[in-house]
Chains A and B, each alone.
Chain A
Amino acid sequence: MSHASVSAKRPGSLKGATLPKWFSWAVAAGSVALGLGISAAAGLDSSIQWALIAALLFVAGSYGISARVEGRRQAKDRVVTSLIWVAFLLAVIPLASLVYETVRRGVKVLDGYFLTHSMGVVADTETGGGIYHALLGTLEQVGIATAIAVPIGVLTAIYLVEYGRGRLAKAITFFVDVMTGIPSIVAGLFVLSLWIVILGMGYSGFAGSMALAILMLPVVVRSTEEMLKLVPNELREASLALGVPKWRTILKVVLPTSVGGITTGVMLAVARITGETAPLLLLVWVTNFINANPFQDPQASLPVYIYLQYANSGGSGAAYDRAWAGALVLIAFIMILNLVARGIARWKAPKAGR
């Protein structure tokens, strides 16, 4: 790489010699070319191998040249910089692959028929069938879970921010944090042991909803708490100074101010539980038929549908196609929820002066 442009220390300059900005790009281009050349010469055909060779050449090359021109410390800095870029690229590869494969394989059978028909009379290895029963089940189960978790979660957050002092509030805060870490299958087992084993109820969508509500609660509490804390104190004081009772202050001043953020938090929580599979498998059981009643008998749901199509496929392409299409619908649903939630957050962000 051209050493001419990197003169040694300029007289009177405090800085040591530095390599020009295009140095990294030049080394990168050089090592890719060399890597391709070596792998062609050695007859390697895997694209991973030439990329690895090129990456090694890049690190070694930039370290060597930089160490000679700029000094060891700068050279080390360059190596770490490239390692950190590698870490980032490593994380992007699986995500890109996941999105690409899901879309590519999912669009095969995804159409109006797929969305409006159930698997009722379709054998697992046949083509045809759809996710209508699963969509219905997911919407009902998630809806009930939201209806249970949101009031309790928001009220708990109100308690923590507006009233909470002392040991009770501390304990609640700590256990809310710990609750975020409960594995979904444990929440499922809890509802199973209480609702189905001890109380003797049957499998139903509602049982699944209870487990989902447990998983949703801590997320709602945390996000609502954060939002309530952002409400400027002056608003509360102004309202209280006018003689408005505290509960009306909370309902009419605090909550409306933070409603955008709370909605965002709830939607993110919904997005998170929509993909839960394990508790539903334990509590709602499985069915290929449409069941609109969430309080009785097994119900289907989108995540469990994907699992069934995968597990019962017997390696058949038709079932795998349906599984991918179901995954595509699920991801699309969650992404849309995420995007809308972020949109609301940006649109309704409380002006807290920060």
Chain B
Amino acid sequence: MDISVKNDTAPPTPLPAPARRGSSARGATRPGDRIFLALSRGSGIFLLVLMAAIAVFLSLRAASAIGKDEANFFTTFEWNPTGDPPAFGIAVLAFGTVVSSVIALAIAVPVSVGIALFLTHYAPRRLRGPIAYVIDLLAAVPSIVYGLWGALVLVPHLGGLYAWLDDYLGWTGVFEWNGGAPRALFTVGILLAIMILPIITNVSREIFRQVPRTHEEAALALGATRWEVVRMAVLPYGRSGVISASMLGLGRALGETMAVAMVLSPTFDIEASLLDPGGGTFAQNIASKFNEATTDGRDALIASGLVLFVITLLVNGTARLIIERRKEFSGANA
């Protein structure tokens, strides 16, 4: 057991050692080698240039749009880039994006951790493979299909839940429902939760799998129940992994476009109630407003896209840095 565990955690095939001094120096003199190295290094550099270009060109258009904006870009509750004077701001979009993503995370993280634990510690051994496959399928369904399903199947089924929430929690103001079609931020949150479930599950599962067998066996030997093993050995080991998995999920939720655009009926104001239709998100606003936008309108949308880009960059970068500290696994394949 112990030996096989060691084999598993050993670094994957070490990089070719002979590429040191002699062979690589002599190899580099061969034209074929030089061309090949240049090509592959060029591709890598191209990738970096591409990332820089994305930032630069979005900033260029965004700067031109924000220069024309007569209102405060960050605090205005209005989207009228073609008006006279042009006035638009991202306050409503930022609010909607954050709120719907937070709802999605609040639903998806506990469920995903549950499924990941189910797959690694609870499910009957024969079921694990097929279930993991089903979760992968959930990840492969395109967002447009989630949107269609959300708009035509999920939305009509949420009335009952919203009426119930309104009855018992309506006094908070947050869960007040006026009986309109449930195309609200909360609905978006539920749909996003379903969509980010697979990635959080997959990354968490990878981490729970890497919990040293000896930790678990030590807990079991002390007479711990299965739940106590999970609580004392598995969860502490996997905590940072679960956090970064959640952040990867958050990154997905923040940038989701079509599903949100199809489910939400947007308005440009902030309402206290999450169950009443209204609000908007960055990505949804771009998709919905794009077909009626002129050049100025497009630039304004690009400006809001730049904000989204920066936010997702920060979220994903942080998640990757957390993962990076533990080299053994990477969530990129999830």
Chain A positions within 8 Å of B, measured between CB atoms, are 46, 48, 73-74, 76-77, 80-81, 83-88, 90-92, 94-95, 97-98, 101-102, 151-153, 155-156, 158-164, 168-169, 171-172, 174-187, 189-190, 192-194, 197-198, 214, 217-218, 221-223, 226, 229-233, 236-237, 240, 245-248, 250, 271-272, 274-278, 281-282, 303, 306-307, 310-311, 320, 323-324, 327, 330-331, 334-335, 338, 352, 354
Contact = CB atoms under 8 A, between A and B. Distances in A.
Q: Which 4 A-B pairs have the closest CB atoms?
A: A275-B142, A183-B255, A87-B114, A181-B316
B90 interface: no
Interface in B12-39: 12-19, 23-24, 27, 30, 32-33, 35-37, 39
Contacts of B18: 236-237, 240
B40 interface: yes
Contact of A182 (B19, B24, B115, B312): B312
B145 A275 contact: yes
Given A83-B114, A197-B61, A320-B152, A185 B255 contact: yes
Interface string B295-334: 1001101100110110011011101100010000010110
12 contacts: A85-B122, A101-B153, A152-B43, A162-B40, A168-B45, A183-B308, A189-B58, A189-B302, A214-B50, A233-B14, A246-B33, A278-B257
Interface of B: 7-8, 12-19, 23-24, 27, 30, 32-33, 35-37, 39-48, 50-51, 53-54, 57-58, 60-61, 110-115, 117-118, 122-123, 131, 134-138, 140-149, 151-154, 160, 194, 197, 201, 225-228, 230, 248, 251-252, 254-258, 262, 283, 286-287, 290-291, 295, 298-299, 301-302, 305-306, 308-309, 312-313, 315-317, 319-320, 324, 330, 332-333
Nearest to B334: A180
A310 B148 contact: yes
A179 B52 CA distance: 11
A186 B44 contact: no
Contacts of A179: 47, 51
Given A247-B32, A247-B33, A324-B148, A162 B16 contact: yes
A281 B32 contact: no
B227 A178 contact: no
- Secondary structure dominating the interface of B: helix
Contact of B227 (A76, A164, A354): A76
Contacts of B19: 162-163, 246
A92 B43 contact: no
A327 B12 CA distance: 40
Given A102-B149, A178-B316, A182-B54, 12 more contacts: A87-B113, A95-B141, A98-B149, A102-B145, A174-B324, A177-B332, A183-B312, A189-B302, A190-B53, A214-B50, A306-B144, A327-B144
